[in-house]
Amino acid sequence: MVDELSFETVRELISQMAKVKNRLQELNVIRNECEITAGYAKWFCSKKYGLELCNSEDLGYDALSKYGEKIQIKSKIGSDTNFRITFDGIHLDDFDHLLAVFIDEKTWMIDSIYKVSHTVVKDFLTVDPPRRFKWRGESRSLSLQVYPDEDNMIIL
């Protein structure tokens, strides 16, 4: 009986997830089925920072700023203090800044966003495997934390 109940519970949760995913797609918060958190991060950054999201995934950037800067947006579930995190699929020659978005493991809410310069990304890019940006204490120190900002700070 426990196995049937567990199966039914999981089936119900998956069904709810599918409904939520479909609704998020209808609202253009996410643009494909594969990566809900990545789509959410891109949408959040576009709304928060006035970025225009690009349609083509073949580009080496995800959005344009109002100043014409090419912005690549990468997200990871985990903390910005986890210095084993890497961001894959970096197209170094195609963007001006990287927005590194960190998402809470349990709530899927955005914890922090860092604006990383092209130079810092280049300095921490791996050769093997290629196009992987290593998030380290040094790369964090050389990046500008742009979220949370004064509108979203929690004062302890």
* Structure tokens, 36: 């809900």
Tell me: the pLDDT tens digits for 81-94? Answer: 999 999 999 989 89
**pLDDT at 3 exceeding the cut of 70:** no
Contact 120/87 with Cβ under 8 angstroms?
no
Check residues 56 and 1 and name the one with the higher pLDDT: 56
Per-residue confidence (pLDDT) for residue 5, from 0 to 100: 63
Per-residue confidence (pLDDT) for residue 37, from 0 to 100: 86
Average pLDDT, the chain: 89
Tell me: the pLDDT tens digits for 96-146? Answer: 999 999 999 888 889 999 999 999 999 999 988 889 999 999 999 999 999
Per-residue confidence (pLDDT) for residue 1, from 0 to 100: 47
Per-residue confidence (pLDDT) for residue 54, from 0 to 100: 93
Averaged pLDDT for residues 36-65 = 90
* Structure tokens, 93: 């020659």
The type of residue at 144 is L
Rounded to whole angstroms, how far apart are CA atoms 40 and 43?
Answer: 5
Q: How many CB atoms lie within 10 A of CB 43?
A: 19
Beta sheet of 97-103, edge-to-edge order = 52-53, 63-64, 70-77, 97-103, 110-117, 144-147
Quickly list H helices, the chain.
2-26, 36-49, 118-123, 137-141
Q: How many CB atoms lie within 10 A of CB 129?
A: 8
* Global pTM value: 0.84
Closest CA to 145 of 87, 109, 101: 101
- 3-state DSSP call for residue 94? helix
Contact 109/80 with Cβ under 8 angstroms?
no
